[in-house]
Every structure is written in structure tokens, then in C-alpha cells.
Amino acid sequence: MATKEMKQIMANYYHELDSASKSSDKKVAWCSSVGPTEILRSLGFYVYFPENHSAMLGSSRIATDLIPYANAVGYSPDICSYLTSDIGAYLKRVTPLSMAYESIKSIPKPDVLIFNTNQCRDVQDWFRWYADEFNVPLLGVYTHRGVNEVTDAHVLSIAQQMEDLIIPLEKISGNMFDINELKKVLSLSRACSNSWKKVLETASTIPSPLTFFDGTIQMGPAVVLRGTQKAVDYYNSLLNELEERIKKHEGAIENESFRLYWDGMPIWGRLRSHSELFASQNTCVVASTYCNSWIFTGFDVDDPFNSMARAYTELFIVRADEAKEKYLKKMIDFFKIDGMIFHDSKTCPHNTNSRYGMPQRLEEELDVPSLVVNGDFNDLRCLSDEQFKTNIEAFIEQLEGNK
Ligand code: SF4
């Protein structure tokens, strides 16, 4: 896959951030992963996403050892392990950026931090810690949570909060807000979303040319570079590659016999072993809620603030179970799913959907079996590899029995 190109894009992104952080005339904003990055880019900020850094801590398997350092300054081992591993890494002065890109010695220093509580409150607490540490402003958008239908009242309130960010951000950036610049960024963000969506939808083909595990690697530019031409070009070329594979009937795994849906976060430190485990069982995990989280096809350049407010509130993670179940039913049908895996992430209740009867309700309604696996995205102490393997193998045996 176009992975080599993607690695180069990510390397350039982090090098640009590093030099912006060292320069006196460039400004760096930290943003939560589904925060209003388009506004920041339109004002000329270089945008850094701590969650991407935390995912790197997870996939390089150093996160678990760093968590206790954040626990020692008051952040519980039970809260978001992105937060705890990231603050732990800062306290220990380590970063996977130095391992990946030799010349980068530290994370970029922020001039401002912006969060949106649409995903959780943890991003707010996480960013507050760094705002104090660097003595820089912290700004936020407070989103309603557990929303069933997104109404005009929700949209108006979020859009107003987004507009209210402009004046403080103008002061910090030293640039005047230009609505045409925002429209340009928004249009690129939407183009990125359209292509990323099509990339993920190629997995509806049998056999699927893409796995969930590939998706977690490929989604980097959709998270950190949405709003740029580079991200659009990358996903267009990835899409061409996947369409070629489809023409040749090339599956991502050999002998695809079962197709699964993954709900919840990936276990970053086990991506490779999990991908190999499923492949060894002739099973392709074809789709996930997680990778779909960076699709904002509702952005509208003719109505920038309202459409941003709506798109950032219509996200799966913001919604009530009823809306989530409707969405999952569509996914199960579209991707021709044989079974569901629900990852119960110990430290992220917001990305965990198995605790209030959802798997059972879906199973009853759609006759699609499901399995709940316990673990965590960054804290590997919450995962038993043996148990995981045994449970997956037993689940696939059950699917075989059902066939
Ligand atoms: S959504 Fe979950 S993983 Fe993401 S920042 Fe919030 S608590 Fe952490």
C-alpha cells in the first residue's frame, strides 16, 4: 500500500511543526483530534495533535511504563491512558518523535491549546495541564454529549462558541481572520473526508482490499493534515491503489472467510499481532467505528460555522445509544458483517459501547454474533494476550458453526 508515501508525509508534518516551534514568527496550536482545526489552519497556526503523539507512544509500546509518572502527579490510572502516558512521557522527557525522526528532540511547544469536549472531558483536563506547564492560553468548545438527534439548538450553540474563538486566536496568531481562507481550508478538509470515506468503503468489497489494522495506520493524514492539499492527494492515490486491487480481486488477507466489525479503539501496542491473529483465522476485520471518526463530509463552504458545528456534533462518539445503534446497523449491512468485536477499553468509556447492553440488543435484532474483548488502547496492563487469543479463536469457531 502507499504506506511509504504516508510515512514521508507524516515525517514532513512533524519536521515542519518542529521548526515552527523553534521559530519566533510561527505559531503552534495544540488541538484535540476532533477539535476545530480548520479555524486554526485558516489563521496560519501549525497544528499539533497530542492524541496522535499518544497513539505513537502506544504503538511503540512505551506508553505503559510512562503512565505511573502521571499517576504520581495526581492523574488516576483509571482515566484516559492517552492522557496519562502523554503527560508521563513529558515528565520523563521522552517522545517517540525522537525515535522516528532523529533530529526532533521534543514535542512542539504550544502558543495556545484548543479542545472540544465532543469526544470526552479528558481532553480538557489533559490540555489544562499543559496550558499551566507552558503558561499559554487554553480555549475550548463545550459540546453536548449523549445526543440522539442533532438539533438546530445544538448547532447554534456550538457554532457561536466556534465564532467566539476567532478574536482570541487572532491576537495569539497575529493574523486577521479571513472567511475566504476558512472556506478554502474547509473545502480541503471536506475533500479529504470524501476520499478517506471512499478508501474505507472499499472494504465493502469481497474480498476486502483493506483491514481495520491497515485503516488505523492509514488514517494519520486524515487526523493531522485534514484541511491541506497533501492529505487530499494522499487519499486519492491510496484510493486508486485500492481500486486496482479490487479489479484484480486481491484481498488484504488470503482466504477471507469471515468479515468482522471492530467497535472501539485499537490496541496500539498489538496492531501487528492482532492483524496476524485474525489473518491466521481467515478472518478480515473490515471496518470500524474508530477509523470512520475522521469523516466530515457535512462541511459546507457556504455555511462554514454551522456546518462545522453540525459535523463535529454528529460524530458517533457524541451520540446517544439509539443513534449509535442505527449507525451500526447500517455499517453491519453495508460491510456484510458476520460478527462484531466490541473492545471494552478500560480507560476510555467514551469509545466503549459494550457496557449498557448494546451488543445484546444488536445481536437480538440483527442476528449478528458479538464478542466483547477487554483491554486498553495504551495501557497494556489491562490486556491478557492469552485470553484475547483464546476468545477470538473461540468466537471464530462459533461463526464457523453458524455457517
Ligand atoms: S476519547 Fe477516550 S481515548 Fe480519546 S482522549 Fe478522550 S478519554 Fe482519551
pLDDT tens digit string along 25-38?
999 999 999 999 99
Half-sphere exposure of 343 (CA within 13 A, CB side): 27
- Atom 5 in ligand 1: residue holding the nearest Cα: 123
- Going by C-beta distance under 8 Å and a sequence separation of 6 or more, which residues neighbour residue 114? 29, 30, 31, 32, 35, 36, 40, 127, 138, 139, 140, 141, 165
One domain for residues 316 and 174: no
The last residue of one of the domains, among 134, 161, 178, is: 178
One domain for residues 148 and 188: no
One domain for residues 270 and 360: yes
One domain for residues 156 and 286: no
One domain for residues 94 and 213: no
Contact (Cβ atoms closer than 8 angstroms) between residue 209 and residue 250: yes
Q: Is 144 in the pocket of ligand 1 (CB under 6 A)?
A: no
Separation between Cα atoms, residue 144 and residue 119, nearest integer Å: 10
* Ligand 1 centroid from CA 174, angstroms: 31
One domain for residues 224 and 355: yes
Instruction: Output the pLDDT for position 237.
Output: 96
CATH number at residue 262: 3.40.50.11900
- Going by C-beta distance under 8 Å and a sequence separation of 6 or more, which residues neighbour residue 271? 59, 213, 216, 217
Q: Is 350 in the pocket of ligand 1 (CB under 6 A)?
A: yes
Instruction: Output the pLDDT for position 1.
Output: 63
Instruction: Output the pLDDT for position 2.
Output: 77
- Rounded to an integer, what is the distance from CA 193 to the centroid of its chain? 13
One domain for residues 140 and 219: no
One domain for residues 76 and 213: no
Contact (Cβ atoms closer than 8 angstroms) between residue 265 and residue 283: no
Instruction: Output the pLDDT for position 403.
Output: 77
For the segment 49-63, what is each residue's pLDDT rounded down to a tens digit? Answer: 999 999 999 999 999
Q: Is 223 in the pocket of ligand 1 (CB under 6 A)?
A: no
Instruction: Output the pLDDT for position 209.
Output: 98
- Identify residue 237 by its one-letter amino acid code: S
Q: Which residue ranges in the chain fall short of pLDDT 50?
A: none
Instruction: Output the pLDDT for position 394.
Output: 98
Q: Is 82 in the pocket of ligand 1 (CB under 6 A)?
A: yes
Task: Locate the DSSP E strands across 162-303.
Answer: 258-263, 283-288
Q: Measuring CA to CA, which residue among 80, 105, 104, 102 is closest to residue 93?
A: 105
* Helices 304-313 and 152-164: angle between axes, nearest 10 degrees: 120
**What does the H/E/C string look like for 108-170?**
CCCCEEEEECCCCCHHHHHHHHHHHHHCCCEEEECCCCCECCCCHHHHHHHHHHHHHCHHHHH
Domain that residue 344 falls in: 182-402
Question: Can you tell me which residue has the cell 473461540?
Answer: 394
* Helices 122-134 and 81-91: angle between axes, nearest 10 degrees: 20
One domain for residues 221 and 146: no
Instruction: Output the pLDDT for position 3.
Output: 81
* Ligand 1 centroid from CA 186, angstroms: 25
Where does residue 54 rank: exposed (0-12), middle (13-18), buried (19+ CB within 10 A)? buried
- What's the whole-model pTM score? 0.97
| Closest atom of ligand 1 relative to the 348 alpha carbon | 2
Q: What kind and span of H or E run contains 4?
A: helix 3-22
One domain for residues 170 and 189: no
CATH number at residue 88: 3.40.50.11890
Instruction: Output the pLDDT for position 301.
Output: 97
Half-sphere exposure of 294 (CA within 13 A, CB side): 27
One domain for residues 90 and 35: yes
Separation between Cα atoms, residue 275 and residue 125, nearest integer Å: 33
* Ligand 1 centroid from CA 25, angstroms: 32
Please report the DSSP string for 58-120 in residue order: HHTT-HHHHHHHHHTTT--TTS-HHHHHHHHHHHTT--HHHHHSTT--SPPPPSEEEEETTS-
Where does residue 109 rank: exposed (0-12), middle (13-18), buried (19+ CB within 10 A)? middle
Q: How many domains does the structure of the chain reveal?
A: 2
- Classified as helix, coil or strand, 339 is strand
One domain for residues 32 and 143: yes
